[in-house]
Structure 1
């Protein structure tokens, strides 16, 4: 499998461990990622506040570049994936909008690209193939699989199997031998974007997610979104201080967990780049 790779801003900055682990796992599975040359920010963070057309135009330029490569495109970042998928959906179904955006961008996009989540890419490679390449079973590890918002909603735009109780990422985790727990907050919002404007509300939302995972007996939480990841990982200490709790739950990108099962060394998965130590998970593979 060969796919155009859009890392986006986060994977080149605050989520470098997501980038490195994604690339390492893809290499192990024989998936060729071809980074889009001269890609630009997708505008997911704030462009929509400036103009209803700006985020579509920013994403459209990246889609055009992928189309020139003759490849479908994937982005591990859930916000980037959502931005690309939204733009593709809007422009494919609205010729008038596509003409307007293409004129603004100056590089016409014809709608010939399929936007894949990174979960789609690994699922497409085959669950059986992943299972067959596991060299270090994670049996005994209980995992809270956290999808958050952007991978599952809106259903008409994203490619997830079920917006209320998705299983695609759970199935990838099962392939490692680990056990996804049944819990109540797998698709609840973490309040990531609120952390700047209303931190109190955001902290409460994160606390509820951590509490749900703890009640379910999870040893760790895995995610696929840099914003969710930072919110869940870096805010535990502050939440403990405010709410008198004692959360100390490792937060991993799902690609890091896949990488451990495939025998990739923890250092190549950047397992030391976390606020909450991942040592309890790494110790399972020696």
Structure 2
């Protein structure tokens, strides 16, 4: 709900025109892929083909979803025979094919590369003025999915945080997995991985963690107390999604930003 609330005004403020994609579906979340990789690739290729049919790229707020789309597009580009098999599947069900024209953008990469940090900096109405640790996660940190950022030592999140008036906190675990969606089957392991990321951010001086992945966000936010109990580490820190802090800094939902600042002060005191 927070992402839906914030992505719309954020995009309007930066002149990004969002177009709904009717008939689109789940991308399988790398869960379906464990049993039937071809089915997941067909789901992804179908979504990309629907966007392609409109002459559009896809913009996503989720690092996992972005990586899934990039991986499918790369696999189809590298293997024409496999691409033909996938296109035959989606042609039978939806009468469309994916030719590789449309691509996925993660919100982070689009803001930095297409909109530009100067434009964003000039649009800021409520500077964040907090110590903020960005969480990338591992999924989109490889060539073809991380835009022009460094896959091993990314800086886009830190650059964006600074442009929004925050102080970017660098920490070692920012690309480390938190075990999503293994929380459903290997809970203690996933919670320990989550605790490692949160405690590292806290020890590095973060007042707030900002996530670029909606799936990992669940672990970092909803499960952080349980992760602390399982690991014995300090894990209590406010967690926001990237779209939220951008919208807040651009002047939207000032009441929510005020509540966030209060949480930061209370937890840090």
- The alignment's TM-score, normalised by the length of structure 1, stands at 0.85
* 2:100 aligns with one of 93, 111, 120: 111
Structure 1 242/128 Cα, relative in aligned 2: closer, same or farther at 3 Å?
A: same
* Alignment counterpart, residue 167 of structure 2, candidates 179, 186, 191: 179
The residue correspondences of 1:239-254 to structure 2 (distance < 5 A) are 239-254=227-242
Contact 1:191 1:201 in 2 (8 A): yes
Partner SS for 2:124: coil
Separation of aligned partners in 2, 1:160 and 1:221: 23
Q: State whether residues 250 and 278 of structure 1, in contact with CA within 8 Å, keep that contact through their aligned partners in structure 2.
A: no
Mapped partners of 2:254, 2:84: distance in 1? 47
Which residue of 1 is the match for residue 193 of structure 2?
A: 205
Distance 1:282 1:94, change over 3 A: farther
- Which structure: greater helix fraction? 2
1:81-117 deviation per Cα after TM superposition (whole angstroms, max 9, x unaligned): 1121111111122211111111111121111112211
Partner of 1:34, secondary structure, is coil
- The worse-fitting range, judged by mean Cα deviation, of 128-137 and 92-101 is 92-101
Any unmatched runs of 5+ in structure 1? 1-15
Q: Give the conservation status (yes or no) of the 8 Å contact 2:11–2:17.
A: yes
Deviation readout 1:15-41 (Å, 9 max, x if unpaired):
x21222122211111111112111011
Give the drift of 1:247.
3.3
Q: Tell me if structure 2 keeps the 8 A contact 1:190–1:228.
A: yes
- For 2:119, the equivalent position in structure 1 comes to 129
Residue in structure 2 matching 1:144, options 116, 133, 154 = 133
What CA distance in whole angstroms lies between the structure 2 residues aligned with 1:217 and 1:111? 43
- Partner in structure 2 of residue 58 of structure 1: 43
Aligned-partner SS, 2:70 = helix
Task: Look up the match of 2:80.
Answer: 95
- Which stretch has the larger CA shift, 228-237 or 18-27? 18-27
Q: Alignment partner for residue 39 of structure 1, among 18, 24, 39?
A: 24
- Cα deviation for residue 48 of structure 1 reads 0.6
In the other structure, the counterpart of 2:155 is 167
TM-score by length of 2: 0.90
**Residues 81 and 267 (structure 1), Cα distance of their counterparts in 2 relative to 1, 3 Å cut:** farther
When the two chains are superposed, the root-mean-square deviation of aligned CA atoms in Å is: 2.2
* Number of equivalences: 261
1:222 matches 2:210:
yes
Cα distance change of structure 1 residues 168 and 243 upon mapping to structure 2, 3 Å threshold? closer
Unaligned residue ranges in structure 2 (runs of 5+): none
Q: Is the 8 A contact 1:190 1:231 kept in 2?
A: yes
Q: 1:8 maps to what in 2? A: none
